[in-house]
Structure 1
Amino acid sequence: MPARPDRQSLPYRDCVGIAVFNQQGDVFIGRRKAEGDPEQSAELGAPWQMPQGGIDKGEDPLKAALRELHEETSISAVSLLAEAPEWIYYDLPDDALGIALKGKYRGQRQRWFAFAFTGKDDDIDVLNPGGGKHPAEFDAWRWEKLGRLPSLIVPFKRDAYDKVVEAFADIPRRFNLG
């Protein structure tokens, strides 16, 4: 078995995270497909999360968020509500280091955006996202209360999700959702 890389020698991967709020003030969460996903193995726990993905070199984070959202959910009918005030980090657990995220990163540095969903639930397609142009990352989805998300996420991302909840907790009230 190859030796695990030194955590401190690995960089964070720059990513975006997306919180999509419906008119009731709930957020979209998807259930990650487990097969072939070292970041989401059965022993890591709950497979639910909000959409997220890498920022391409030179790509604007907001554009990356809109692209990733469409690639993972087919959602394109959104309106920007807020951006988290700072980057939110998470580290991979030791047993995933050198395996998950193509083995190149210690975790992720995420820029989070909150959007209002302005489409219809029928527009959401996680099984054939982006009109079938992208591989499915989720096998199911639902609307959920933002405050419940840290208890539904894989344990190593909980601190990051606590920060997302804190950054966006006032959105349903501030924008009269729900």
Structure 2
Amino acid sequence: MIDRDGYRPNVGIIITNDKNQVFWGKRIRQHAWQFPQGGIQHGENPEQAMYRELYEEVGLMPEHVEILGRTREWMRYEVPQSWSRRESRGGYRGQKQIWFLLRLVGRDCDVCLRACAHPEFDAWRWNDYWLDIQAVIEFKRDVYTKALNELVRYLPEPKIKCVCSPHAHDLVRV
């Protein structure tokens, strides 16, 4: 389903942990890291598509996450012709995305990259929220930057672990 401007509706998913680190997935058989994302199917709204893609790509169910926020407007990026199949080009220009910021309330072991028959990732890791944007494929960098900047306001304070310090009233982040 491509809109009249040539963009396929899509959702992007930023999953955070209690330290405000983000889930970073490695594309199968590639050395490319990215956030989960995927198309919105006919009849789905963005939230429904997000939950479907979350399960298909990461194996997480709705009870494993909490929605912290989402982008207000569509964010667009163009896919270079060399990256898309020639037969599928038609009027296709790229993707328009609604981005969701989620908090993992489940456990790391709830992540299952093999939940579906056609996995998209073969490895994953937690990364700082303000990741090195140079690690993102060039044509997606602007959208990643915009999504991270818009959604950062929804991040709760990271959990801190209290440890003894020489000064009884000081909290030390670990």
State TM-score, norm by structure 2.
0.80
1:140 aligns to what SS in structure 2? strand
Closer, same or farther in 2 for the Cα pair 1:99/1:150, shift >3 Å?
A: farther
Which structure has more helix as a fraction of its residues? 1
Structure 2 residue aligned with 1:139: 122
Alignment of 1:6-21 (within 5 A): 11-21=6-16
Closer, same or farther in 2 for the Cα pair 1:161/1:95, shift >3 Å?
A: same
2:39 aligned with 1:54? yes
Structure 2 residue aligned with 1:121: 108
Is the CA contact (8 Å cut-off) linking 1:73 and 1:124 kept in structure 2?
A: yes
Structure 2 residue aligned with 1:164: 147
Distance (whole Å) between structure 2 residues aligned to residue 160 and residue 136 of structure 1: 24
Structure 2 residue aligned with 1:111: 98
Aligned sequence identity (%) = 36
Structure 2 residue aligned with 1:31: 26
2:145 aligns to what SS in structure 1? helix
1:170 aligns to what SS in structure 2? helix
Structure 1 residue aligned with 2:69: 82
Unmatched 5+ stretches in structure 1:
1-8, 36-45
Point out the structure with max Rg over C-alpha: 2
2:17 to 9, 22, 35: 22
* Number of aligned positions between the proteins: 153
User: How large is the Cα RMSD of the aligned pairs?
Assistant: 2.0
Distance (whole Å) between structure 2 residues aligned to residue 32 and residue 72 of structure 1: 10
Is the CA contact (8 Å cut-off) linking 1:97 and 1:106 kept in structure 2?
A: no
Is the CA contact (8 Å cut-off) linking 2:29 and 2:122 kept in structure 1?
A: no
